[in-house]
Structure 1
Amino acid sequence: MDWNRVEGNWMQVKGKIKEQWGKLTDDDLDVIAGKRDQLEGKIQERYGKAKDEARREVDDWYNTQTW
């Protein structure tokens, strides 16, 4: 499965994202709108992480979800 599923179900996925990365605000999630690069960027910004670290976290999160 690819990231398109996340984008297509963004309204349902937002809650799971917020559970994982609680520092992301509702406004952040509205701006992200399912876009992976936007999500990684906001994680970097809110948590002070490097780009590679944010990408790895998103990969790990994505791979542990039951779709």
Structure 2
Amino acid sequence: MKWDQIEGKWKELSGKARASWGEFTDNELVQIAGKREQLIGMLQQKYGLAREEAERQADKWAKKL
């Protein structure tokens, strides 16, 4: 799924994001709002990932949708 589609369907997809990254709070999921850069930043912050790894995880997750 493309990121513009993810952003448009974020309310539906935020549960799937929570299933993949269980440490996200409801407020953080609202803050991400389906935006790729926001998700990458939050992955870096919450999980201590390097940017490249966070990008890889976000893109892999998007392709599974």
TM category (shorter chain) comes to over 0.9
Residue equivalent to 2:9: 9
Structure 2 gaps of 5+ residues are none
Contact 2:2 2:62 in 1 (8 A): no
Cα drift, residue 59 of structure 1: 1.0
User: TM-score with structure 2 length normalisation?
Assistant: 0.94
Structure 2 partner of 1:50: 50
- Which runs of structure 1 show a deviation greater than 4 angstroms over 4 or more consecutive aligned residues? none
User: Does structure 1 retain, via aligned residues, the 8 Å contact 2:44–2:51?
Assistant: yes
Count, aligned residues? 65
In the TM superposition, what is the alpha-carbon distance from 1:63 to its structure 2 partner? 1.2
Match of 1:39 in 2: 39
Question: How far is 1:57 from its partner?
Answer: 0.4
Higher relative contact order by CA 8 Å / sep ≥ 6: 1 or 2?
2
Q: Letter of the 1:40 partner, please give it.
A: I
RMSD of the alignment, in Å?
A: 0.9
